[in-house]
Amino acid sequence: MAINWFKYSSPATYYSLAGKLIPIFTVAAVLLAIAGLYIGFFVAPTDFQQGEAYRIIFIHVPAAWMSMFLYLVMAFWAAIGLAFNTRLSSMIATAIAPTGAMFTFLALWTGSLWGKPMWGTWWVWDARLTSELILLFLYIGFMSLQAAIDDPRRADKAGAVIALVGVVNIPIIYFSVNWWNTLHQGASVSLTQSPKMASTMLLGMIIMSLACWMYAIAMTLIRSRVIILERERHTAWVAELHEKEAA
Amino acid sequence: MLLWIIQRDLLLAMRRQSDVLTTLFFFIIVVSLFPLSVGPEMNMLRTMAPGIVWVAALLASMLSLGRMFSSDYLDGTLEQMLLSPHSLFLLVLGKALAHWLVTGVPLVLMAPILGIQYDLPADALFVLTASLLLGTPILSLIGAIGAALTLGLRGGGVLVSLLVLPLYIPVLIFGSGAVEASSAGLGYGAHFSLLGAFLLVAVAFSPWATASSLRISME
């Protein structure tokens, strides 16, 4: 069965499809989060070194994964939008950015909450912490550039350029920050965990990651629907939709 | 074409020398502020010097980015440049090099004097100057992308710093790292090789990204 992808690249079709998908992903996110948190709090054993405090891993690690992954997805859609001049792709890139920034912030925040009892400090200039912080700056740069440009098409394209420049730079930044720390001195604290992780811990983390995935998809769909309505407010199909909802 | 645009931009800069001097004095003032804020402890200042000089150079180079395209944009020259049959890549490369000659080179020349203020030994001064010489063109090239993207936007100056500063980080790390490595008795060759690699990558890609950003901003 061949799916006509171009059909769903039209904002009008996408709008109604996204409307149907949002409840599915939202429910999936809530159910997975409940399951993941249950495993995290009640099933997973207490870590013999870190005690109960390690349980923040169940939100920290998924958030960190999502923060990096969402930047790549965002840059991918921005690149598609720039290359093929498809409006919807750029809108999705714009819709992903705040969720990605939120996860980046969450990873930093939970990380520092975790760092305080474990390392005795809220923040260390460890390579990973620093590169996550820089990732947050990249998200903020992308969003503020788009916010400063009034013309939405120009905002899309300008955002795409800066997102792509960021993608080229991410490995460079990552490795330079790594070398920066190791050239100086050995890290006084290491982020590496105990070598073997209990399988229930891993399971909880994977389920929580899936929950974050579903949440990110639902949020992106919701936000892209709002962006579509805002940009297409002068078109006939939005007017029809409005009349239908008003009636 | 490349030489022509460099020559033209240099001529324009020479007609307005105060702009060049403002950037240079900004650099000097920022570097001089640090002893006042952290105290005149010479041992501490000596270890902080490379970082301070590098951050100040970063800020000075960034602050002058706005001038790279804006006057040409306002009087319509930039539009004619985009319409011209010549390669936009070379044109942008020329403008970035001119920006470096006008803002980067004075900083490089000034750095040893500021380093003496911080009591850096002679070989550290040499490494600092050389690292700035290699690093500042990268700053101009990366900054050109930000300047092109924020062309004609309100609040462009603050915005350009948000866009460009995270991208400057690798240059900052290896630029000031080279000086620290040499004072610690380690080799600084690796740092210089990496800076050189960044420069080559920036020369190859940044004019291209800048050219497409200019097209986006001007349409």
* Cα radius of gyration (chain A): 21
Binning pLDDT at 50, 70 and 90, where does residue B141 land?
Answer: very high
**pLDDT value of residue A115:** 82
**pLDDT value of residue A138:** 92
Q: Work out the number of other CB atoms within 10 angstroms of the CB of residue A192.
A: 6
Check if B205 contacts A (Cβ < 8 Å): yes
User: What does pLDDT average to over chain B?
Assistant: 89
Query: Is the pLDDT assigned to residue A193 strictly greater than 60?
Result: no
Q: Do A148 and B217 touch (CB under 8 A)?
A: no
- Each residue of A163-185: pLDDT tens digit? 999 888 888 877 777 777 654 44
Angle at A80 between CA B209 and CA A152, to 5 degrees: 75
Q: Are the CB atoms for B110 and B94 separated by under 8 Å?
A: no
Q: What is the mean pLDDT of residues B119-129?
A: 90
Q: Are the CB atoms for A156 and A81 separated by under 8 Å?
A: yes
Q: Are the CB atoms for B144 and B99 separated by under 8 Å?
A: yes
Residues of A in contact with B138 (CB under 8 A): none
User: What does pLDDT average to over chain A?
Assistant: 84
Low-confidence winner among A88-97, A176-185, A207-216, B165-174 (lowest mean pLDDT): A176-185
| CA pair distance A57, A198, nearest whole angstrom | 13
The tokens describing A132, both together, are 């996550």
The more confidently predicted of residues A196 and B107 is: B107
Q: What is the share, in percent, of chain A residues with pLDDT greater than 90?
A: 37
Q: What is the mean pLDDT of residues A78-107?
A: 92
The domain spans of chain A are 21-239
The tokens describing B38, both together, are 């952290």
| CA pair distance B210, B96, nearest whole angstrom | 10
Q: Are the CB atoms for A66 and A152 separated by under 8 Å?
A: no
Angle at A74 between CA A27 and CA A147, to 5 degrees: 100
Query: Is the pLDDT assigned to residue A77 strictly greater than 60?
Result: yes
Q: What is the pTM of this model?
A: 0.86
Q: Do B167 and A165 touch (CB under 8 A)?
A: yes
Query: How far does the CA of residue B14 sit from the closest CA of chain A (Å)?
Result: 32
Query: Is the pLDDT assigned to residue A78 strictly greater than 60?
Result: yes
Query: Is the pLDDT assigned to residue B198 strictly greater than 50?
Result: yes
Binning pLDDT at 50, 70 and 90, where does residue A101 land?
Answer: very high
| CA pair distance A93, A114, nearest whole angstrom | 31
Q: What is the mean pLDDT of residues B48-54?
A: 91
Strand, helix or coil at A47?
Answer: strand
Q: What is the share, in percent, of chain A residues with pLDDT greater than 70?
A: 89
Q: At what angle do helices A199-231 and A11-38 cross, to 10 degrees?
A: 150
Query: Is the pLDDT assigned to residue A144 strictly greater than 80?
Result: yes
**pLDDT value of residue A240:** 85
* Residue among B156, B177, B219 whose CB faces A183 most closely: B177
Which range scores top for mean pLDDT: A129-138, A237-246, B100-109? B100-109
Q: How far is CA A22 from the centre of its chain?
A: 17
Burial B142-172 (b: 16+ CB within 10 A, else e): bbbbbbbbbbebeebeebbbbbbbbbbbbbb
Give the closest residue to B195 by CA, choosing from B122, B114, B125, B141.
B141
| CA pair distance B206, B90, nearest whole angstrom | 11
Low-confidence winner among A95-104, B115-124, B183-192 (lowest mean pLDDT): B183-192
**pLDDT value of residue B39:** 84
**pLDDT value of residue B147:** 92
Binning pLDDT at 50, 70 and 90, where does residue A48 land?
Answer: low
| CA pair distance A139, A147, nearest whole angstrom | 12
Low-confidence winner among A99-108, A180-189, A196-205, A210-219 (lowest mean pLDDT): A180-189
DSSP per-residue codes, A53-85 = GGGGHHHHHHHHHHHHHHHHHHHHHHHHHHHH-
Residue at B218: amino acid letter: M
Q: Work out the number of other CB atoms within 10 angstroms of the CB of residue A43.
A: 13
**DSSP H helical ranges for chain A:** 5-8, 11-38, 57-84, 87-119, 127-148, 152-184, 199-231, 236-246
Largest CA distance in chain A: 69
Give the closest residue to A154 by CA, choosing from A145, A163, A164.
A145
Q: Do B166 and A145 touch (CB under 8 A)?
A: no
Best of B151, B154, B163, B193 to mutate (most A CBs within 10 Å, chain A) = B163
Query: Is the pLDDT assigned to residue B107 strictly greater than 50?
Result: yes
Check if B200 contacts A (Cβ < 8 Å): no
**pLDDT value of residue A185:** 41
